[in-house]
Chain A
Amino acid sequence: MKQRAFIEKLAKTIVLICAAVAIFAVCAITLYMILKGTPALKKVGVYDLLFGKVWKPTAAHPAYGIFYIILSSLVGTAAAILLGVPIGLLTAVYLSEMAGKKTGSIVSSAVELLAAIPSVIYGLLGMMLLNPMMYRLEHKIYRGDSQHVFTGGANMLSAILVLAIMILPTVISVSKSSLESVPNSLRAASLALGATQEQTIFKSVIPAAKSGILTGIVLGIGRALGEAMAINMVAGGAVNIPLPFNSVRTLTTQIVSEMGYAGGLHREVLFTVGLVLYVFIMIVNLILLNARKRGAN
């Protein structure tokens, strides 16, 4: 009997420790990002680092301005959301409101698979298909322009398109489940008042599912901000103003492409880039948690 009580207690302690691992992990990651990310802020100066527009880490007089890097991340994410959300939302509308059982399950499976494809494959296809297309477009637009730096197609626009595609599955699946949770009585009432199915969808169902759709969009923002490898393969490798045909670096690709060889202050600045990304992601996470809490209430 005593042994049994002991085992019960032991089991409870062990599962409690398992549950605490997540807390330790989050605390350790946060602590390390701050500890490693702040020294460069002090050495370079907060303003010069965050709002500096020149990035020359290996020059004789190095400059560590990451303003354009931050801007590229934000612009890329925003544009990808603008492009990906309408497509994703309409696909979700099809799945929840129009699809028959069989076609619906085919489309759903396709979306699930899209989510499972590794990001390097998106990157590889972007390199092989998007970049050459962009290159041709670039030549048409900037023919004879001596000011423009030609990028070979690896540019902001390619990054935006790849990101828009990569957030699709997230937006679709979250929007779909929130559209599906709208009660049928709402649809019936709207139809009975003489609205067509399309009017019902856009005037009754989507407004009712708004908070869930917004959650999907925020999740998409998180995914787009954090995506590294695919973007690194298609966005080119120079720190630039985020214009469509400029080769750009985002917060994530900056880390991926320079962490391998950076040393000294350059390396510390890359940790600061990581910290900036972490802060953005934490803001997104907090918004999400708040939305969930409100949804639960």
Chain B
Amino acid sequence: MDGTLLIERKENKTMISSKRHIINRKLKDLMTRMLIYVCTLFSVSLLIGIIAYVFVRGIGVINWSFLTSVTSVLDGTVGIAGNIVNTVLIVLITMIIATPIGVGSAIYLNEYAKKGRLVTIIEFATETLAGIPSIIFGLFGMMFFGEKLGLGYSLLTGSFTLILMVLPLITRNTQEALKTVPKMYRDGAIGLGSGKWHMIRTILIPCAMPGIITGVILAIGRIVGESAALLFTAGSAKHLPAGISGLLQKPFQSGGTLTIQMYLSATSEGNFDVAFGIAVVLLIIVLLINLMTKRLTKKFDVTRQSN
């Protein structure tokens, strides 16, 4: 009698403890799950918060004269037209030079090079370039293009610096795009008697176009948002170039981009209204670029699926 009671008690105990164990485990799982949700919510609300705050503070600053005039005490105007022109010029000069070099580099790596030491070194160099922070590019640009080559503070110095910075972006995206072109396209073209370069020019590049354009757009986004690499290379002038001849001379003169002007407005000039106005413009550009790359990647996927 006593013995069976003892056994029953023991069973009861283990049942209770295993029940407690299950409850504990469920609680632990629930808490883990909650923690994951909280972290995700934090990441998302961060973005929403940033966009909302910048728009609330800055949208009132933006009007036609803010976008089309230059800040001048004499005329009593506040505007960023000069910075917009500088940004466009830097983007144009940089991309006109960087795109062919980046695409060419990707073509060499993907189509011509045989696996070996040279390819390893080139890929190592590209990876290293991608990992160098922009302030180092800025220092190098200032020392080499600005002082050694005598370009001083100018849009050209800034652009040359940025070329090195965006090169890996274009090379990588082009490489990825080239890898997705099926091998039979290449074999087909060569089999029909096309030369290698002819095949690359007429088959591969058009097929890889969405990838190349994605790289170019991402690079433009990087340039528009860049500040540390430009502060000591392109300078901070904000006047508008006068007429066509002024525009032609502009690359050799100092000029601050939107981002640089935003930095100066928020720090040394202490003009936060202008800073938030520019921040809104920058955010809109970033949003547009993001949208465009999304579209392109989708299109890219469709062509891949149809193969």
Contacts and interface: CB of A to CB of B under 8 A. Distances in A.
Interface string A55-93: 000000000000000000000000000000011101101
Contacts of A90: 35-36, 39-40
A196 B25 contact: yes
Given A15-B112, A233-B267, A124 B132 contact: no
B60 interface: no
A4 B196 CA distance: 10
B35 to A, nearest CB: 6
> Looking at chain B, what size class is its interface with the partner chain?
35 or more
Interface string B214-231: 000000010011111001
Contacts of B301: none
B131 A284 contact: yes
A125 B54 contact: yes
Interface in B177-214: 195-197, 200
B275 A21 contact: no
Contact of B197 (A8, A28, A259): A8
Interface in B18-65: 25, 28-29, 32-33, 35-37, 39-40, 42-44, 46-48, 50, 53-54, 57
B139 A274 contact: yes
Query: What is the predominant secondary structure among interface residues of chain B facing chain A?
Result: helix
Interface in A1-22: 4, 7-8, 11-12, 14-22
A42 B71 CA distance: 46
A128 B267 CA distance: 12
Contacts of B32: 198, 201-202
Contacts of B228: 119, 228-229, 252, 256
> Looking at chain A, what size class is its interface with the partner chain?
35 or more
B47 to A, nearest CB: 5
Output the residue of B39, B262, B279, B286 with the most chain A CB within 10 A. B39
Contacts of A125: 50, 53-54
B6 interface: no
Given A107-B40, A196-B29, A260-B232, A25 B164 contact: yes
A91 B43 contact: yes
Contacts of A225: 133
A7 B228 CA distance: 41
B126 A22 contact: yes
A23 B126 CA distance: 8
B232 A259 contact: yes
Contacts of B127: 285, 288-289, 292
B28 A198 contact: yes
Contacts of A181: none
A278 B136 contact: yes
Given A32-B144, A125-B53, A289-B124, A94 B40 contact: yes
Interface stretch (B76-84, B88-96, B102-110): B102-110
Contacts of A255: 135, 139
Contacts of B225: 116-120
Query: What is the predominant secondary structure among interface residues of chain A facing chain B?
Result: helix
A271 B104 CA distance: 33
Contacts of B104: 14-15, 17-19
B167 A114 contact: no
A121 interface: yes
Given A94-B39, A289-B124, A228 B133 contact: yes
A123 interface: yes
B16 interface: no
A217 interface: no
A33 interface: yes
Nearest to A25: B164
A134 to B, nearest CB: 17
A110 B29 CA distance: 26
Interface in A167-208: 168, 172, 196-199, 201-202
Given A15-B104, A22-B167, A125-B53, A198 B29 contact: yes
30 contacts: A8-B195, A12-B108, A16-B112, A18-B100, A18-B101, A18-B103, A22-B122, A23-B121, A26-B128, A29-B137, A91-B43, A93-B36, A107-B44, A114-B46, A116-B225, A118-B286, A120-B225, A124-B54, A124-B266, A124-B272, A125-B50, A125-B54, A226-B134, A226-B135, A228-B135, A252-B135, A260-B232, A271-B139, A274-B136, A285-B128
Q: Which 9 A-B pairs have the closest CB atoms?
A: A226-B133, A18-B104, A118-B225, A90-B39, A11-B197, A15-B108, A19-B108, A22-B125, A19-B105
Given A32-B140, A125-B50, A256-B135, 17 more contacts: A12-B108, A18-B105, A18-B108, A19-B113, A23-B121, A23-B122, A23-B125, A26-B125, A87-B39, A88-B43, A98-B36, A110-B44, A120-B225, A128-B272, A198-B33, A201-B32, A256-B231
